[in-house]
Amino acid sequence: MHKDFYLFRHGETDYNQQRRWQGQGVNLGLNANGVAQVQNLAEKLRDKKIEVIYSSPLKRAVQTAQAVAKINNAPIKILDDLIEGSLGDCEGAFRDDVAKKYPEIWDIWYGDNDIMDVRWPNGESKLEVQQRMVRAFDLMALSPEKVIGVASHGAAMRYFLLKFGYGPHKMANTALFHLVFEDGKWSLLESNL
């Protein structure tokens, strides 16, 4: 059976604009620019015939899912495994401060490498984030719908997409990816459509 998945990152929040990390522990809604971004994203997805949208429980993802759901007349289901990676003690901190305080972790976290056990103090490892996202996608693949939207977060998406050889790119707000599940296999077709 062929299933299409449209995976997208949430729109901008004030913390994104201020270059501060949110992670799982900061639960902000979208700012005005973020609202405009998700309207543009929703327009991109208007003709995809999305039947259901799975979303992280965090406000920024839910608000993004709501904009896409409205234009597609699709229900939203919350799936906890789609939540952003835990950035531990670095949540709420400015990106530049994190880079200065933890330069070795920073280089591995964002570097072009396959080191998956790196983590911020008291946070999840890249591998833990990836495994959680894989579990979520395998669960969604069991749903009866054939066209599925997925609202998630930058780090969660980044380390999930490493499974497909995409990365370790930083994710722009409302970054969009098209994945296909067919004959028990996942593939990444295109990004930012």
What residues are labeled active site?
Answer: 10, 84
Q: Are 151 and 5 in contact (CB under 8 A)?
A: no
Closest-CA residue to 82 (of 110, 52, 61): 61
CA distance 99 to 85: 17
- 67 to each of 12, 109, 120, 158, how far by Cα in Å? 14, 31, 32, 22
Looking up tokens 């007349």 gives 73
Q: How many CA atoms lie within 13 A of 73 on its CB side?
A: 2
CA distance 75 to 52: 5
Contacts of 140 (CB under 8 A, 6+ apart): 5, 54, 79, 148, 150
Distance of alpha carbon 119 from the chain centroid: 18
Q: Are 63 and 10 in contact (CB under 8 A)?
A: yes
The amino acid sitting at 134 is: V
